Structure 1
Amino acid sequence: MTRRLAWAFVALAAILLAACAKAAYTNRSQFMIVSEGQEMALGLQSAQDVLKKEKESRDTLQVERIRRVGARIAAAANKPDYKWEFHLIEKDTVNAFCLPGGKVFFYTGILNLTTTNDELAAVMGHEVAHALLRHGGERMSAALAAQAGGQIGSIAIGASAGSAASQVFGQMYGIGAQVGVLLPHSRAQESEADEVGMILAAKAGYEPSGALSLWRKMDAWAKSKGQNTPGFLSTHPTTEDRIAAIQSKMGAIRAKYFQQAELR
């Protein structure tokens, strides 16, 4: 082992030891080497980029609806350091997301699937949960660690087998990291956001069963478009798995949070 490789291992070990965190609500252990401040700065920049490229909707009723539901979810989230904004983008895409720092974007295409405020709150809660749980920072941390691991492996092979073998290792490592670590972890994040999203919606006074009706609509919509993606190699759980998980947790969340909601 070369001195350079030894120092690389020492540096990586120090990073790993210092990178333990706990997820909000679920208390799941997280690997985190990206600070929340860094996440929020990236979120602000990304929000500005979206607003430069996309056209905002002028449908005042739907914009107000997004903001009203969003304000209640934001109050339930209790993140005073977030600068909350709620935007409706004029595009048929069925999508929504919340950037770190509280910049929330809905696309008009998803409104046909969120006809009730409970369903809208399910989407809002889910996307806000991703930000609260720092899933973006977690994925960035995993990617940085994977990159560091690949570099260490390249050093090891490069010391003995030349640059060609080193390049092959880097390519193989990238594939292994994508299939073996990043995608399954992202599916776990989606399930976690489903659970915490229902909690936020319930705390805000919305019926948590809105998540169930939402995903049943999503399932029907996806099948009508021929977009029933297999669960493996997908960043989302299968719809059937998702609905089953929501059903298994909905009763307890309703009893603990919805029935005691202060923002009814």
Structure 2
Amino acid sequence: MRAWRTHCWAGMMLLSLTACTSSPTGRNQLILFSDADMNNLGAQSFEQMKIQQKVATDPKVNQYVQCVAKRITDNVPANKGFTRWEVVVFDSEQVNAFALPGGKIGVFTGLLDVAKNQHQLATVIGHEVAHVLADHSNERLSQSQIANTGLQITNVALGASSYSQYSDVTMAALGLGVQYGVILPYGRSQESEADVLGLELMAKAGFDPRQSIELWRNMSAAANGAEPPELLSTHPSHQTRISDLNQKISTLKTYPASQPNCSA
């Protein structure tokens, strides 16, 4: 038994060494799962979300969110094993959004109270899409596997067990809470990376990247001083985020001046 465990651990270490790659910004990543595995997990988790959460039916709200999301995703290269993005608006007071592997985007109506215009909404959607493009879910799943806590998830990804048996574990690894669609944070480096990549996406789509600053000011005001200290949070502080975004905006290329016309 000891020899078997040693062999398995050696195999895992070898796998981890051969799966090291670089993120779009050049950060080192550990990626163990294929795009097909991740797309499958993302699609199944999204179906679970649509069961757990109330889907918004207001046609005006849906048209608005779909319009902004389409402008963002039209500027995303089709290189992750899927060609179509599905966007669903959830009727919830939660101020958040998410994107999953396989091209699944969820936006909570509570976000629209803080993202005051199309540019600010594009900031959030671009940020969430960037998580997918940078393989952040795969990275988190892979880290769980190496830590010997993701064996059940591996079975799901490889098709060895039914998704329903491990759906809670899988959704948590993808950043979704098991109840009421609570969004679990990525690590600070992943959040900062998604900020940078998302800013580029929204700018390419014709949205005003300067509005990203206003969005985070709105977020800070909405938090009402309830934000935890930066060192105790996986997210950058709002002020750090604003500072980093200002620096990135100053280096952005000049994109077409024509702006989308997605009205709320």
Match of 2:16 in 1: 16
Q: One-letter code of the match for 1:18?
A: T
Bigger share in helix: 1
- 2:71 is aligned with 1:75: no
CA RMSD of aligned residues (A): 2.3
Q: Distance in 1 between matches of 2:137 and 2:209?
A: 25
- 2:64 is aligned with 1:65: yes
**Matched residue SS, 1:237:** coil
Structure number, greater radius of gyration: 1
Q: Distance in 1 between matches of 2:30 and 2:146?
A: 9
> Is the contact made by 1:219 and 1:239 (CA closer than 8 Å) also made in structure 2?
yes
Match of 2:255 in 1: 259
Structure 1 residue 55: deviation in Å? 1.4
Q: Distance in 2 between matches of 1:78 and 1:6?
A: 42
Match of 1:191 in 2: 192
Match of 1:112 in 2: 113
Q: Distance in 2 between matches of 1:140 and 1:30?
A: 12
Q: Distance in 1 between matches of 2:191 and 2:140?
A: 12
Residue deviations 1:48-76, cap 9 Å, x none? 01111211112211210111111110011
- 2:119 is aligned with 1:123: no
Q: One-letter code of the match for 1:14?
A: L
Q: One-letter code of the match for 2:237?
A: T
Structure 1 residue 261: deviation in Å? 7.0
Residue deviations 1:211-240, cap 9 Å, x none? 1110010001102xx521121232211111
Q: One-letter code of the match for 1:137?
A: N
Change (3 A) 1:69 1:55: same
**Matched residue SS, 1:232:** helix
Match of 2:29 in 1: 30
Q: Distance in 2 between matches of 1:221 and 1:132?
A: 28
Q: Distance in 2 between matches of 1:125 and 1:184?
A: 16
**Comparing 198-207 with 48-57, which one deviates more in the overlay?**
48-57
**Matched residue SS, 1:44:** helix
Q: TM-score, normalised by structure 2?
A: 0.79
Match of 2:238 in 1: 239
> Is the contact made by 1:89 and 1:105 (CA closer than 8 Å) also made in structure 2?
yes
Match of 1:144 in 2: 145
Q: Distance in 2 between matches of 1:262 and 1:28?
A: 33
Q: Return 5+ residue gaps in structure 1 as ranges.
A: 150-182
Q: Distance in 2 between matches of 1:35 and 1:197?
A: 23
Q: Return 5+ residue gaps in structure 2 as ranges.
A: 151-183
**Matched residue SS, 1:34:** coil
The alignment-based identity, stated in percent, is: 36
Structure 1 residue 146: deviation in Å? 1.2
Match of 1:211 in 2: 212
Match of 1:154 in 2: none
> Is the contact made by 1:88 and 1:107 (CA closer than 8 Å) also made in structure 2?
yes
Structure 1 residue 40: deviation in Å? 0.6
**Matched residue SS, 1:56:** coil
Residue deviations 1:185-222, cap 9 Å, x none? 71100000000000000010111112111001000110
Structure 1 residue 86: deviation in Å? 1.1
